[in-house]
Chains A and B, each alone.
Chain A
Amino acid sequence: MALTVAPRRAGEGFDRPWRRRLPLLPALVFTVLVTQIPFVMSIWYSLTNWKIVPPTPRKFVGLENYGDLAGDRFFRDAAWVSVVMTVSAVLLSLLFGTLLAVLLDRKFFGQGFVRTLLITPFLIMPVVAGLIWKNQMLNGLYGVINWVLNRVGIDSIEFVSRYPRASIITVLVWQWTPFMMLIVLAGLQSQSNEVLEASTVDGASAFGTFRQLTLPHLRSYLELGALLGTVYLIQVFDHVAVMTGGGPDSTNLPYFVYQRSIGGGWVFGRASAYSIVVVVASIIVATVALRVLSRLLKGEEIA
C-alpha cells in the first residue's frame, strides 16, 4: 500500500499537531489547576509561620520551617516508623502471600471457595479491619486471642497498648497478603508446564525445583508486588488513627502531618513544610520505582 502525502500548504504544518492536542486541553488544564494550585498554596503556607492556636497572622518567614525540620526529632521518629512499618508489612505479606500462592497452585476440592475466602481480608475497609482487630481480636479484656491464651494458662496481653507498631503491622499484613498472593499466583501459573515436567523427569526434588526454576521466574512478579505494596503502604493512615491514635511508637508520616495540622497541633505553616518534604521524597521514590518497573516490563517483552 503506498502512502500518499498531501502537499503542505502554508500554515498547515503548525495547525495539524495542535488540532490533535486541542481536545485534550480542557482536561489537562483542569488537572493542572486542581492538583497544582493547592500544591503551590501549600508551598506558600510552608514559608509562613501560620498557626491558629493561638491565632497568629500569617507572616513570611522564609525557609525557617525547613531549617527547624532538620532538627525535629519527632519528624525523624515518624519517618523511621513509616520506614519500619512499610518494609515489615511488605516483606511479611510477600512471604505469606508466596506461601499461600504455592499452596493454591494445585487443583483440590473447593479450590475456588478457599481462594475467595483468602482474598476477603483485602476487600475489608481499612477502618473496619483496624477496629475488628483492636476491639475483637487483640483487646486486653475481652479479645479472642487473649481468650485462647487464657485457656492455655497464659495471662492476658494488652497487645495494642504494649506493642502498638507490631499490632498495626499485623493488621496490614493480614490485609495485604491476599494482594501479594494473587500476584504471585499469576506468576506461578504462567510457568510453562514443560519445564516443570522436565525437571521432575530429571529427578529434581520439589524444593530444588522451587528454588532453581520457580523463584527466578517469580522475581519480576515479586518485585512488582513489592513496589505496588510500598507505594500504598507508605500512605497508611486509617489503621494508625483507629487502632492507636498516634503515640510515639506508631505515628507514621501521614498521621504525623495530620496531627501537626488539623489533628490538634494547628501549626499549618510547619505542617505544610512536613508535607512538602514528604511529597518530594515520595516523588523520588516513585520515579525510581517506575524506572525499575519499566525496565522489568521491557525485560519481559524481550524475554
Chain B
Amino acid sequence: MAAVTGLVGVAVASAIGSTTMVDASTARRAASAPAGAERELNVAIVGNPQMEDIADLTPDLFTAETGITVNYTVLEEGTLREVVTRDVGAGGQQFDVVMIGMYETPQFGSNGWLIDLAPYATDDAEYDVDDLIPSVRAGLSVGDAMYASPFYAESSFLMYRQDVLDEAGVEMPANPTWDEVAEIARTIDSDDMAGICLRGKPGWGDLGASFTTVLNTFGATWWAANDDGTIGEAQVDQPEFKAALEFYVGLLADAGEDDAANASFNECLAQYRDGQVAMWYDATVAAGLLEADDSAVQGMNGYALAPVQETEASGWLWSWALAIPQNSPDPDTAWEYISWATGPEYIAASGDLIPGGWAAIPPGTRLSTYEIPEYQEAAAAFAEPTLTAMDAAPIDGPGTTPRPGLPGVQYVGVPEFQDVGNRCTEEFSGVIAGRTEIDDALSACQDIASQASS
C-alpha cells in the first residue's frame, strides 16, 4: 500500500516536472535572446583539422555570446556516416545538427529526413545566402530546397614540392595528364622520399574518391545508366576499368608512399608535411594546411589541376555541410548555430585565432572569403587553382559515358554506392597491399556491383 502511494507520488511529481519543462521550452522559443537560459546542442562532426578548429573556438566565439552550449561528437568519416545514416534514417534524436557530405545531402533531402534550410537562410540577413558559391549551393539542394549549409567545399588537385622538382630538373605543366604525372613521380622517387602519395585506404570516400576520378578520366565507370536514370549493368569487368586499376596500383607500387593500403587524407598530409613524399593528389583543402603557419613545408609547394587522361577535367566536387535532422527538437536554435558556423562572421574571425593562420580557414564556400585581404595574401599560392578547380569540376559529365542517379564526380549519386564502394575498395586495397590478385579483386567487385543493378 505504501509502495503504491510512493509510486503515485513519483508519477505526479514527474508529470508536474515535465509540464514545467514544456512551459520553459515554449517560453524559450517565444523569446529570441534569452539571457541566462541553458540551451544545448548535440552536433556530430567529422574529425578534420578545420572542424577541430571550430570545436576549439566555439566556447569563446559562440557560447559566450549566445549562451548555447555545443556538445561536439567528433567521429572518423566512416563511423560518422554510419552513425548519422542510422540516426537520421530512423528518425532518431541523438543529434540536433549533423555534418553530412554532398553525397548524402540530396538523397537524405529527397527521403524527407532533413529540414529544408532555405526559409531560414533567406530570412537570416547575417547569413547572406547569396554569398554562397553557386555550384556548392546547388550540390546541397534539391530544386529550391537547400538541405545543408556548407562548412567547407573543395575540389581536388595535385600538390607538389616545387623545390624537389626543380632539383630533379623536371617541370610540371599546369594541366598535366596522368601519364606525365606518373613519369615525374617515378623520376623523383627515392628511398627517402616517395614520388607521390595517393589514397589507398578502403572506403568509398577514401580510396573510392581518388580512384573514381581516375576511373572517370580513363573512360571507365562503375555502372551503365538505364534510360530512366536507374542503375544499369555493372561495368567493372570492362577493359578500361582494369586499365585504370592497373595504372593506380602500378603507380603506388613504383613510386607510392609506404603502407599505401592504410593511407588516406590524414596519413598523406602527415607524410607530405614531414617531407616523406614529394607529390600528393588529394583535396584542395589540403593546400590550406600545407601553407599554414605551423607547416614545415610552407611556401615550398606548387599546384596543378587534377591530372586528366581522356577527359577535359577530372577534379572532384565535395562539401562537408551542416544539416538539421527532421525530428530535431529545437530547429531554431540549431539554425542559430549553423548560421554562425557557416556564416561569413566565423570565417572572418577565425583567421587570426586558429593555429594554422589565415591559410587554414574553411575554404570554398563563399565568394566573400576570397575578398578578405589577409586570406588573399596567405592563400596566394593556391586560392586561384582552388577556385579554377571548383569551377571546372565536371559534375554533369564526369566521364565518357552517362552515369545513373544524382550528379557526382568522385562517387555515383545512388545510395547503393556506399556499400558497393566500401566493399570494392576493400578488394582494391588488398591489391595495393599485395595480397590479392587484380583479376580476383575485379571479379569480386563485379559480383558486388551487379547486385545493385536493376
Contact = CB atoms under 8 A, between A and B. Distances in A.
A248 B427 contact: yes
Contact of A53 (B259, B416, B447): B416
Given A55-B111, A248-B444, A262 B433 contact: no
Given A156-B258, A247-B430, A263-B82, A53 B444 contact: no
Contacts of A140: 258-259, 262
A114 to B, nearest CB: 36
Interface string A50-70: 001111000000000000000
B333 interface: no
Instruction: In the A-B complex, list the 9 residue pairs whose CB atoms are closest, starting with the nearest.
Output: A161-B433, A140-B259, A161-B261, A53-B415, A247-B426, A54-B415, A158-B259, A265-B419, A264-B422
A96 interface: no
A264 B419 contact: yes
Nearest to A139: B259
Interface string A228-263: 000000000000000001111100000000000011
A210 interface: no
Nearest to B90: A52
B86 interface: yes
Contacts of A264: 78, 82, 418-419, 422
B430 A249 contact: yes
A266 interface: yes
Nearest to A246: B426
B334 to A, nearest CB: 24
B436 A248 contact: yes
Contacts, number: 67
B89 interface: yes
B257 to A, nearest CB: 9
Interface residues of A, number: 26
Nearest to B203: A245
A163 B261 CA distance: 12
A262 B86 contact: yes
A156 B260 CA distance: 13
Interface of B: 78, 82, 85-86, 89-90, 111, 202, 258-259, 261-262, 414-416, 418-419, 422, 426-427, 429-430, 433-436, 444, 447-448
Interface of A: 52-55, 73-74, 139-141, 156, 158, 160-164, 245-249, 262-266
Contacts of A245: 78, 202
Contacts of B261: 158, 161
A281 B228 CA distance: 43
Determine which residue in A73, A141, A162, A264 has the highest number of CB atoms from chain B within 10 A of its CB, and name it: A264
A286 B85 CA distance: 36
26 contacts: A52-B89, A53-B89, A53-B419, A54-B414, A54-B416, A73-B444, A139-B259, A140-B259, A141-B259, A156-B258, A158-B258, A158-B259, A158-B261, A158-B433, A161-B261, A162-B434, A164-B435, A245-B78, A245-B202, A247-B202, A248-B427, A248-B430, A249-B430, A249-B435, A262-B86, A266-B419
B86 to A, nearest CB: 6
B435 A163 contact: yes
B430 A266 contact: no
Contacts of B258: 140-141, 156, 158
A263 B436 CA distance: 23
A73 B90 CA distance: 30
Contact of B426 (A160, A162, A248): A248
A241 to B, nearest CB: 11
